[in-house]
Amino acid sequence: MKFSIITQTNRIKMSVLSENRADEATQQMRYAAVEGKNVLFITCFLAKLLYDRDLPMLKKVAAMKPNIHMVFGNTEDDEGLAQKFRDDGILTGEAIFADMSDDEKAGPNIAEACKATGVHFDAIFSPYEHAMFLVGEVGELLNIPCNPGTAYSAARDKRLARQVCEEKGVQTPRFGKVESASEIEAMVERIGLPLILKPSSGASSDGVYKCNTLEDVYKHFERVHGELTEAKYMAWNPGCEMVVLLEAYIDGDEFDVDVLMWEGECVYANAIDNWPTHEPYFMEEGSNCPSTYTGEKLESLHQYSIDCVKALGFVSGLFHVETKYSHIKDTPLLIEVNPRMGGGHTHLYHNEVWGVDLFTEFFMCSIGIPVNPPRAAVPNCAMGDFDIICAKTGIMQNVTWMDHLKENPSVVAYKVFAEEGDEVIGYDTEIPQWLGHYLVKSDDVHKTIKILKDLIPTFEPPIMEKKNRRPSTGRGIRRFSTAGAEGAAMIEN
């Protein structure tokens, strides 16, 4: 379905917007065109977890004076969250409450609740991973212009995404689903070892494991299969088939390519380098922007990501495409397509390095305004971050072990995740947790990477060993769930 062009501007402005130039004058017209739009904003359980991270970005779009009507669940917590959005000036229209507890009924329940308001919605929007399918489903049920529901279904289901891409001629790694332990051996025989085991739908690399042996596959299958029904962030996934996915391990460099599309064409794409993760648990460790890839390799990353987005059936929007550039095949291969802005420092990096506010572009595009942001011809700066992973299990003795970073002019901000007295879980137990995070900025990407790496040996987390330690059943303190780099404010220099 095509997005509608702005109707409340005069003919001259409509003509300029339709030309969709990447200049500042057109950008100001885009901002003005937001005013008065009735936007249906779908929340989910992530809204509370990511509130502090998202609030500055939401305030910017709210200042453009759209009428934002927000959908919540029907619990007391949701009522409190709605009031919080209202008090902060984000919820300017109706607060709509619907039963979202049942994956299959959530979309129809939301649509019925929206109809009861009598509001004619111009657009539908959500920044949350787990609400993406609902954007497509509710949009179609209410006849709101949006991408096809089938595109959101495919993006949220990693198995289906690979299948659709293959059918459209876009190369992907070998893959297959496993619903019971009895299917494992045959699937491993077909895919080969090493391989990746993960849920068919998830976020933040939760439940993702590298398996080098058949025994590894059986062990991690039992853990992930159980988490699919027990963990809320996995169990609540409207529109998704929740099974365990096996796929061929890709030996190569990992990237996040953020792609902005308008009516079938890419208007902006840039990559962030992801540093090698700590295997076998795929703990994120570092990233940098701009990419160190240049020329044809960088262009192939961009084009492959665009091809994946188009293959899934998307027309307009913002897409966070995770890929690996295979050293063996000399080509990018898909990890996943997320029809939203990426987490972590994605917004900050594109804003600082390229001068592009991805969240605002995502919002405008979702409500039918042509997007094509002005951007820097060369990087304005270079930024990078690093996560410190716990090496040993024990009790954290203090929170001052990163304070020497205050004296480093290249360090923009840092954050300690574990409080004094907290039990922390390290590699010596099993799945470790992140202890801290820091952010660096310079005028050159290679200089930024060197600063990040030179700082690593300076950290000595004060952990006292704990006797009779218990085995880990998860990753411990997560950034996305404990107000780390994606949540509460970091300490800024």
DSSP per-residue codes, 240-274: ----EEEEEPP-EEEEEEEEEEETTEEEEEEEEEE
Residues 417, 460, single domain; the answer is yes
Across the chain, what does the average pLDDT equal? 90
Is 374 contained in some domain?
no
Query: Looking at the predicted structure, is the pLDDT value of residue 485 above 50?
Result: no
Choosing from 248, 273, 298, the residue where a domain stops is: 248
Residue 17 has pLDDT above 60, yes or no: yes
Question: Do 134 and 92 fall into the same domain?
Answer: yes
| CATH assignment of the domain containing 101 | 3.40.50.20
CA distance 492 to 484: 13
- What values do phi and psi take at 242, rounded to 5? -95, 95
pTM for the predicted model, two decimal places: 0.91
Range of the domain at 72: 34-146
Give per-residue pLDDT as tens, 70-124: 999 999 999 999 999 999 999 999 999 999 999 899 999 999 999 999 999 999 9
The number of distinct structural domains making up the chain is 3
Q: Residue 84: is it exposed, middle or buried by C-beta count within 10 angstroms (0-12/13-18/19+)?
A: middle
Residue 240 has pLDDT above 90, yes or no: no
Looking at the structure, tell me whether residues 138 and 219 fall in a common domain: no
CB 387 within 8 A of CB 293: no
The answer to whether position 361 is within a domain reads: no
Residue 233 included in any domain: yes
Structure tokens at 107: 């979309």
Q: Within this chain, do residues 457 and 386 fall inside the same structural domain, yes or no? A: yes
**Torsion on CA atoms 288, 323, 278, 471, rounded to nearest 10:** 130
- Residue 89 sits in the same domain as residue 194: no
> Token pair for residue 254?
């990992």
Of the three residues 129, 146, 163, the one that is the final residue of a domain is 146
Instruction: Pick the closest to residue 73 from 115, 45, 104, 52 (CA basis).
Output: 45
Residues 51, 94, single domain; the answer is: yes
Task: Name the E strands within 35-116.
Answer: 38-42, 67-72, 95-97
* CATH assignment at residue 240: 3.30.1490.20
Q: Is the pLDDT of residue 202 over 70?
A: no
Question: What is the pLDDT at residue 478?
Answer: 35
With respect to residue 159, please indicate whether it lies within any of the assigned structural domains.
Answer: no
**Of residues 478, 401, 469, 395, the one with CA closest to residue 434:** 478
- Asked if residue 357 is part of any domain, the answer here is no
Q: Output the domain CATH number for residue 440.
A: 3.30.470.20
Tokens of 47: 């809204």
Residues 393 and 475 both lie in one domain: yes
